[in-house]
Amino acid sequence: MLLKKTIVMSDNKQLRGKQDRNKVNSQEPYEVEDLHQKYPHLSHDEVREAVKKFGPDRENIEKHLSSVDGER
pLDDT at 13: 61
pLDDT at 29: 93
pTM: 0.67
pLDDT at 11: 59
Those residues of the chain that have pLDDT short of 50 are: 9
The letter for the amino acid at 55 is G
Would you give the distance in Å from CA 53 to the centre of its chain? Answer: 13
CA distances 7 to 1, 10, 15, 19, 57, Å, are: 19, 10, 11, 17, 26
pLDDT at 44: 94
User: Which residues does residue 57 pair with via DSSP β-bridges, in sequence order?
Assistant: 23
Helix (H, G, I), strand (E, B) or coil at 31: helix
